[in-house]
Amino acid sequence: MDLVTSPPSHLVGNATLLVGRQLCKLKNHTGFGLDVQLFRNSFFNNNLRTGIRNRLFSKGSEIPISCSASNGKDLFQRANGKLNDARVIYAVAPAMGHNQESHPESHFRVPSIVSALEKMELTPELRGSEIIELKDFKRASVDDIANVHTRTYVSGLEKAMDQASQQGIIFIEGSGPTYATANTFQDSLTAAGAGIALVDSVVEASKLSQNQPIGFALIRPPGHHAIPKGPMGFCVFGNVAIAARYAQRVHGLKRVFIIDFDVHHGNGTNDAFYEDPDIFFLSTHQAGSYPGTGKIDEIGQGDGEGTTLNLPLPGGSGDVAMRTVFDEVIVPSAQRFNPDIIFVSAGYDAHVLDPLASLQFTTGTYYMLASNIQQLAKDLCGGRCVFFLEGGYNLKSLSYSVADSFRAFLGEPSLASQFDNPAILYEEPLTKVNQAIQRVKHLHTL
């Protein structure tokens, strides 16, 4: 893996320009000012700048759970034996040491979600055994990572940590302003390890309880852009891809269905499984957005032909578009594939307030997706389902949307009406959306 010791100006400059343009575009569409700021709002600054690190790593009332494939039922017996009451199992890996000042993929992202969960009383301290937080989980091993990424890349990144330690921040060669600090390698192993621990937990829960809990990995760095040979687009290791291979290898869950609703195409996951008939990758993303991949006619090849489905949505697509996509594309694709487990690359950057794209999802859209995907998993694979955090760069919309997803998992009413402002939305390009849907249905005989 090649590294450069200073930021490639065209990449960093383009990213900064993109943020600026999207913020201006958003203000023009919405009339919003302060609410679309990427990092500045009073609630999150007050919480994040004072004490959030301590809250993330302090000993709370949750019972620590050590996760590995060999733990068996003991893993949950240590959680007071109340797995039957659990509705959500989550793990937190905030990568506090992996950060670049003013970068959109910052170390404020996961803490902001944790703050929102606390504010909305969606934590184990307030919900008891209904919500479980996994703690003391193991980092992923190099072998786990190497089931998706080349060992040359993995070892190259590990060696680069010395350079990062000396220079503070280095930029990893690849597409997009993907940076590394001295902590990046270990933080990335931790993120992947959180996903693996949740796979273990969800699979074990499916053996012990009919009221299957759903898993959510609140992790960074994100992963769906990372290609087998290297990093890309803020992503270091492909967390969902690593978990998919782990589920197959360790738990014998051969058929894995991956839904990626991030606003950007998950090219790394796409590439990792493009010829694999046992992993179905379905991505909805904004047409023409970074990284420019995910065309509608990219459907897999060889033995994997037909198990990749890409649906680029026109700018301005929102709640109506995504509800239609879910009913007409996602559900029949999943039903036909008949998976053993469902994974979700959960990017919250399609939100209308997010500065890096131009879709019009709302908090309510994400509630709908969380609820419907949970039901789909119950219908098809015993409820086995894990969400993995990907994008989402407006801290307010990111945090409230994840929190409302938790409410969906719990079967509680959405609070989206408290956060969403319908007045900022504009007419969706539904004719173009329907044309795209009909084309993808024709290509995949849905």
String of DSSP letters for 12-75: HHHHHHHHHHHHHHHHHHH--SGGG-SS--HHHHHHHSSSHHHHHHS--SSPP----TT-TTHH
Q: How far apart are CA 199 and CA 203, in angstroms?
A: 6
Terminal-to-terminal C-alpha distance of the chain = 41
Q: How far apart are CA 372 and CA 117, in angstroms?
A: 21
Q: How far is CA 117 from the centre of its chain?
A: 17
Q: Compute φ and ψ for 386, nearest 5 degrees.
A: -135, 130
Q: For residue 213, give the nearest of 91, 31, 349, 365 by alpha carbon.
A: 91
Catalytic residue set = 225
Q: Please state, in angstroms and as integers, the Cα–Cα distance from residue 280 to each residue in 102, 270, 304, 425, following that order.
A: 36, 9, 9, 33
- Sequence-distant (6+) residues with CB within 8 A of 400 are 116, 363, 415, 419
Q: Is 385 helix (H, G, I), strand (E, B) or coil?
A: strand
What letter would DSSP give residue 382? T
Q: Is 225 helix (H, G, I), strand (E, B) or coil?
A: coil
Q: How far apart are CA 312 and CA 286, in angstroms?
A: 5
Q: How far apart are CA 348 and CA 278, in angstroms?
A: 27
Can the peptide bond before residue 213 be classed as cis, meaning omega within 30 degrees of 0? no
Q: Please state, in angstroms and as integers, the Cα–Cα distance from residue 365 to each residue in 72, 172, 287, following that order.
A: 36, 34, 19
Q: How far apart are CA 295 and CA 312, in angstroms?
A: 7
Query: Going along 220-278, which residue ranges are E strands?
Result: 256-260
Task: Specify whether the CB–CB gap between 128 and 225 falls below 8 A.
Answer: no
Residue at token pair 């960093």: 12
Query: Going along 5-63, which residue ranges are E strands?
Result: none
